[in-house]
């Protein structure tokens, strides 16, 4: 049996606020053949860890709790590690901010463990990695900008597909928590989308945003999921989907989960 020496010596650290998510991500990385130097629950602790243990790659949850990570990424990249960020916010604005801060890889929170492993290997090799869903968001924004430059008036306000989904949920009268549950995102992400929607529509309140949306016909043809306030956790043969109050993290293939006791 041959051993992939480069992969076996690739050192990975995990930064995530949720203890179970840290354990699960470490397990996935080890099963993929990576050396795990450890896991931390804050950016501050990860900066210290990276300086001491010198991981090649840090896998970082964008929702980590000690402050917006956009303002802390410079500290992490200064340690010499390359960064893979897990995010549920696929908006072009968020992607642009993260990429401009020097990260090397972006994976969606709905990614499989194989996508995460691919991202780790890619950034360790000195290349960039974007999850397909995030690539789609970037391309959508590029097409929007091209259409605006060409004077295409059929794309008012240049809202992204996710912003349109949030706006539609607002027209249904859902509060932030209800919007988050409907779309499978956090309330913090809902707030971020609302801020961008208000800016793009030049409004200051939800009522104004709904009025503009209806008046411009922005929501025609959207196919959104039904709101189920008491939906239980769902487990299928391939993925594990965790419902509140368990923190969200990368959906791991069921065969990757082992007994962590």
Taking the C-alpha atoms of residue 58 and residue 35, their distance in angstroms, rounded to an integer, is 12
Please check whether residue 52 lies inside any domain of the structure: yes
Please check whether residue 64 lies inside any domain of the structure: yes
User: Lowest-pLDDT range, 42-56, 85-99, 237-251?
Assistant: 237-251
Pairing verdict, β 240-241 and 234-235: antiparallel
Query: Which residues form the domain of 83?
Result: 5-133
**Residue bearing the bigger pLDDT, 244 or 126:** 126
Rg of the chain on CA atoms, in Å: 20
Q: Does residue 227 carry a pLDDT above 80?
A: no
Q: What are phi and psi of 74, to 5 degrees?
A: -60, -35
C-alpha pair distances (Å), 169 with each of 50, 109, 175, 240 = 41, 21, 8, 26
pTM of the full predicted structure? 0.56
Please check whether residue 157 lies inside any domain of the structure: no
Residue with tokens 């809902």: 190
Please check whether residue 228 lies inside any domain of the structure: no
Taking the C-alpha atoms of residue 39 and residue 208, their distance in angstroms, rounded to an integer, is 45
261 pLDDT tier (thresholds 50, 70, 90): very low
Q: Does residue 187 carry a pLDDT above 70?
A: yes
**Would you call 54 helix, strand, or coil by DSSP?**
coil
Number of domains in the chain: 1
Please check whether residue 112 lies inside any domain of the structure: yes
Please check whether residue 167 lies inside any domain of the structure: no
Tokens of 147: 């259409």
Tell me which residue of 150, 156, 124, 168 sits closest to 34, measured CA to CA.
Answer: 124
Please check whether residue 67 lies inside any domain of the structure: yes
**Residue bearing the bigger pLDDT, 44 or 109:** 44
Please check whether residue 211 lies inside any domain of the structure: no
The mean pLDDT of 29-38, rounded to a whole number, is 94
Helical (H) or strand (E) element with 38: strand 35-40
Tokens of 246: 């368990």
Q: Does residue 23 carry a pLDDT above 90?
A: yes
CATH number for the domain harbouring residue 57: 3.40.50.2300
């Amino acid at each position: 049996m041959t051993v992939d020496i480069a992969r076996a010596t690739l050192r990975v650290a995990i930064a995530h606020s949720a203890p179970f998510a840290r354990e699960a991500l470490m397990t996935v990385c080890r099963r993929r053949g990576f050396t795990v130097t450890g896991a931390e629950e804050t950016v501050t602790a990860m900066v210290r860890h990276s300086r001491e243990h010198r991981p090649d790659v840090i896998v970082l949850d964008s929702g980590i709790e000690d402050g917006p990570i956009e303002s802390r990424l410079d500290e992490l990249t200064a340690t010499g590690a390359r960064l893979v960020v897990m995010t549920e916010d696929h908006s072009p604005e968020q992607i642009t901010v993260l990429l401009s801060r020097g990260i090397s890889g972006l994976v969606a929170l709905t990614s499989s463990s194989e996508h995460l492993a691919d991202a780790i290997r890619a950034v360790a090799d000195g290349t960039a990695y974007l999850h397909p869903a995030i690539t789609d968001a970037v391309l959508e924004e590029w097409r929007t900008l091209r259409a605006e430059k060409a004077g295409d008036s059929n794309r008012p306000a240049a809202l992204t597909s996710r912003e349109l989904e949030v706006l539609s949920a607002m027209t249904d009268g859902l509060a932030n928590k209800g919007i988050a549950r409907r779309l499978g995102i956090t309330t913090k992400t809902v707030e971020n989308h609302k801020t961008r929607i208000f800016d793009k529509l030049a409004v200051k309140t939800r009522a104004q945003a709904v009025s503009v949306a209806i008046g411009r016909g922005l929501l025609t043809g959207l196919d959104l999921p039904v709101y189920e306030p008491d939906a239980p956790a769902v487990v299928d043969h391939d993925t594990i989907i965790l419902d509140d109050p368990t923190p969200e993290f990368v959906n791991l293939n069921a065969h990757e989960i082992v007994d962590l006791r």
